[in-house]
Amino acid sequence: MLKISNLSVSVENKLIINNLDLEIDEGKKVAVMGPNGSGKSTLSNVISGKPGYDIKEGSIEFEDTDILKVDPEERATMGIFMAFQYPVEIPGIANSSFLRTAINSIRKKNNIDPVNTRIFLEEINQIASKLGLDKSFLSRDMNAGFSGGEKKKNEILQLLLLKPKLCVLDEIDSGLDIDSLKVISKGISEYSNKKNSMLIITHYQRLLDHVIPDEVHIFNNGKIVESGDHNLVKILEEKGYKEFS
């Protein structure tokens, strides 16, 4: 589903992603773990199309399309979704309006009529309730004044509504209490199936105990320095990143 080849990216003349190769097959959950500043968020941003990065070399193919030539909105309508490490607050835009605009943009691209209001409201209410988010979060301005954990739940609410093919989750577990982590993990696990793929960026074992990854890669200085299965998470927890550089 996603094929990153020989990718090098710099910001302000500093090389952040360094000759990276990474493939994520359909139906797979791939975890990327790495120390602070190793380039994980840069990788997520480059996949989703955030401007401001200098792509020095390489390609990113999503379902055989070279997405580096595709604008971020188009990438989203193709089925790429990113949950932000730091979700942005958008005062003045109600959460439900944002969600409705997002889903209708995807439907429009796929020649489907706008969503029926009643069905839309039923669905977002159902998802919010599953995530333990009160209905009031849907009418509030997007993320404005939400706690860290509520913002993360709101990212998963978007994911469950938009039903993307590729989910890029950038530290979705940071700032979550134990109960919220379980709720979010359950949402992610239930959504994961043979037709979609996940790139799960995290520092901690705890999320990966709930959402068992098929592959684990350790990232350092913008490249993969070790790969393995779920057992690598335990080894990393014991040894720390210092062993992998």
Ligand X SMILES: Nc1ncnc2c1ncn2[C@@H]1O[C@H](COP(=O)(O)OP(=O)(O)O)[C@@H](O)[C@H]1O
Shortest CB 185 distance to ligand X, Å:
21
The torsion of the CA quartet 215, 221, 225, 227, rounded to 10 degrees, works out to 0
Contact pick of 2, 24, 31, 41 for Mg ion (by CB under 5 A): 41
- CB under 5 to 8 A by kind: which of ligand X, Mg ion, none does 37 bind? ligand X
Residues 69-108, interacting with Mg ion (CB under 5 A): 85
Q: Report the alpha-carbon distance of residue 81 to residue 87 in Å, rounded.
A: 13
- CB under 5 to 8 A by kind: which of Mg ion, ligand X, none does 12 bind? ligand X
Under the binding rule (CB under 6 A), the answer on residue 13 touching ligand X is: no
Of the pair 42, 158, the CB lying nearest ligand X is at 42
Report CA torsion sign: 223, 216, 231, 234.
positive
Residues with Cβ within 8 Å of residue 231, at least 6 apart in sequence: none
Contact pick of 3, 11, 148, 214 for ligand X (by CB under 6 A): 11
Choose among 36, 42, 51: nearest CA to 8. Answer: 42
Of the pair 30, 183, the CB lying nearest ligand X is at 30
Q: Are 63 and 69 in contact (CB under 8 A)?
A: no
Of the pair 40, 75, the CB lying nearest Mg ion is at 40
- CB under 5 to 8 A by kind: which of Mg ion, ligand X, none does 93 bind? none
Shortest CB 168 distance to ligand X, Å:
12
- CB under 5 to 8 A by kind: which of ligand X, Mg ion, none does 213 bind? none
Per-position x/- string for 31-70, each x denoting binding to ligand X as judged by CB under 6 A, each - no binding: ---x-xxxxxxx---------x------------------
* Cα atoms in the 13 Å half-sphere on the side-chain side of 151: 20
Q: Report the alpha-carbon distance of residue 205 to residue 237 in Å, rounded.
A: 7
Of the pair 95, 202, the CB lying nearest ligand X is at 202
Return the ∠ at Cα 34 (arms to 30 and 35), rounded to 5°: 160
- How is 165-226 classified by DSSP, letter by letter? SEEEEESTTTT--HHHHHHHHHHHHHH--TT-EEEEE-S-HHHHHHS--SEEEEEETTEEEE
Please give the residue ranges that form the binding site for ligand X (CB under 6 A). 11-12, 16, 34, 36-42, 52
